[in-house]
Every structure is written in structure tokens, then in C-alpha cells.
């Protein structure tokens, strides 16, 4: 997926949707921009707000419109808490697990690591970033990839890394074990997942 200029996209969306824009400097600029916008623009419509939140969410996971829409529609079609279901689907992607497990510094780097065939799930090589991981899955680095530069000093980094509660990291073996379902905490998101669902429910 071709994203384009990250800073420009993040400024337009008003949120640090990419790791490189999740800085204090960017946040300060957005605060200043928000104050100036309020002086010259009226309130957004419900549709405008929902569209903005959808774009924030899509860019946060760097997914195409088609890919992201597919996840939302699947979440809406299932019984249960749609917000939790959507979050679980997005976070259970293999590239998301590699990122959350501390094996990559950014989501795009995690996607590249997976697509280049460096990761294994339960001993089998998987090069599909959207691969859906499940409880009990063990993610590891392919033997032939362990000496790649991208994994330099990984064990030391993992010893200091705090992974989400639903993942267990073994720094020595360099593995990630999926222990449970991703847990949604709306306060940790830079988008309103409820507004995203409302957008697709129109």
C-alpha cells in the first residue's frame, strides 16, 4: 500500500497516525493548528467526524480502503461487542502481533519483516501480514533470518520491552506467544472506534 507523505497526512487528520508523527513536537503543532482552525471554521457534521475517525483508524493500521472496510463489515456482521471484535481483528493480524511483541519499531517495518518471510507461526513460515493469529500461536524468527541486521540486539531490547498483557515474550528464545484476545482500551487509541463503526453503518 502506497501511503504518501506521512507528516502531511497526519496533519490533515489531526493525529499522529504514524510512529514518526507520535512526538511532542507534532502534538504541539496540532494544538496550535486546532486553535487557528476553530477561529475560521464551523463545527463538522456527524458524517465529517465519522469520516475523519475512519481515516485515522485506517492509516493507523496502514490498510487500504478495501482491506479496512472488510474488517469493519465482518465485525458488524458478528454477534457481540462490535468495537471489541473490530479491535481484535486488527490487532490479531500477524504484522500487528510482530509490532506489539517488540520485534519491529514501526507497523510498516513489521509488515516488511513478515512479507519478506522472516517470521514463523507454530514452526511454519508465514509471509502474509494479514494472517490471523489465534490464542496459543507461537511466533518466532525463521532460523535463516535470525542473523539479519533487523534483529540485531533483539534479545536485549525484548528484556526491557513491556508487551500487552495478551502476549508473552521470551527474550532468550525470541518468541511471541498469543495468550489471549487483544483487549480494547479506548483511551489508548488515537481514533474513536465507535465513530468508525457508525460510518460504516450509515
Q: What's the pLDDT tens digit per position in 64-80? A: 999 999 999 999 999 99
**Whether pLDDT at 35 is above 80:** no
Query: What is the grid cell recorded at 65?
Result: 480502503
Q: Cβ distance 201 to 184 under 8 Å?
A: no
Q: Yes or no: say if 176 and 98 are a contact pair by the CB < 8 Å rule.
A: yes
Identify the CA nearest to 90 among candidates 69, 105, 106.
69
Residue appearing with cell numbers 471554521? 41
Of 22-26, 63-67, 110-114, 181-185, the poorest mean pLDDT is in 22-26
What cell was used for 184?
480494547
In a domain, 66, yes or no: yes
Is there a domain that residue 99 lies in? yes
* 76 and 99 part of one domain: no
Query: In the chain, what percentage of residues exceed pLDDT 90?
Result: 75
161/101 same-domain check:
yes
Tell me how far apart the 2 most distant CA atoms of the chain are, in Å.
58
Q: Which domain holds residue 152?
A: 93-178
Same domain, 97 and 42: no
Is the torsion defined by CA of 118, 161, 99, 75 positive or negative? Answer: positive
Tens-place pLDDT, residues 156-174: 999 999 999 999 999 999 9
Q: Which residue has the cell 520491552?
A: 161
75 and 110 share one domain? no
Q: At what angle do helices 65-77 and 46-60 cross, to 10 degrees?
A: 110
Is a pLDDT exceeding 70 seen at residue 21?
no
Find the range with the poorest average confidence among 14-23, 98-107, 164-173, 182-191: 14-23
For residue 62, being part of any structural domain is answered with yes
Domain count, the chain: 2
pLDDT value of position 30: 47
Residues 6+ apart with CB under 8 A from 71: 63, 86, 89, 90
Identify the H or E element spanning 125: strand 124-125
- Domain presence at residue 87: no
**Cβ-based neighbour number of residue 103 at 10 Å:** 27
In a domain, 188, yes or no: no
CATH of the domain at 60: 1.10.1050.10
Q: What backbone torsions phi and psi does residue 84 show, to the nearest 5 degrees?
A: -65, -40
Whether residue 61 is found in the same domain as residue 107: no
Examine the pLDDT at 42 and tell me if it is beyond 80. no
Would 110 be classed as within a structural domain? yes
Amino acid at each position: 500500500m502506497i501511503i504518501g507523505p506521512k507528516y502531511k497526512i497526519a496533519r490533515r487528520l489531526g493525529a499522529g497516525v504514524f510512529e514518526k508523527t507520535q512526538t511532542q513536537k507534532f502534538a504541539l503543532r496540532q494544538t496550535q493548528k486546532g486553535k487557528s482552525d476553530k477561529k475560521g471554521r464551523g463545527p463538522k457534521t456527524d458524517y465529517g467526524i465519522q469520516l475523519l475517525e475512519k481515516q485515522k483508524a485506517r492509516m493507523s493500521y496502514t490498510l487500504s480502503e478495501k482491506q479496512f472496510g472488510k474488517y469493519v463489515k465482518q465485525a458488524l456482521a458478528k454477534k457481540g461487542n462490535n468495537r471489541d471484535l473490530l479491535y481484535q481483528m486488527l490487532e490479531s493480524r500477524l504484522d500487528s502481533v510482530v509490532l506489539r511483541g517488540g520485534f519491529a519499531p514501526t507497523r510498516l517495518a513489521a509488515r516488511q519483516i513478515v512479507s519478506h518471510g522472516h517470521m514463523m507461526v507454530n514452526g511454519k513460515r508465514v509471509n502474509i501480514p494479514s494472517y490471523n493469529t489465534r490464542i496459543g500461536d507461537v511466533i518466532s524468527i525463521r532460523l535463516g533470518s535470525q542473523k539479519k541486521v533487523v534483529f540485531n540486539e533483539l534479545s536485549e531490547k525484548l528484556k526491557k520491552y513491556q508487551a500487552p498483557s495478551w502476549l508473552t515474550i521470551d527474550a532468550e528464545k525470541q518468541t511471541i506467544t498469543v495468550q489471549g484476545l487483544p483487549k480494547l482500551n479506548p483511551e489508548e487509541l488515537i481514533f474513536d472506534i465507535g465513530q468508525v463503526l457508525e460510518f460504516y453503518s450509515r
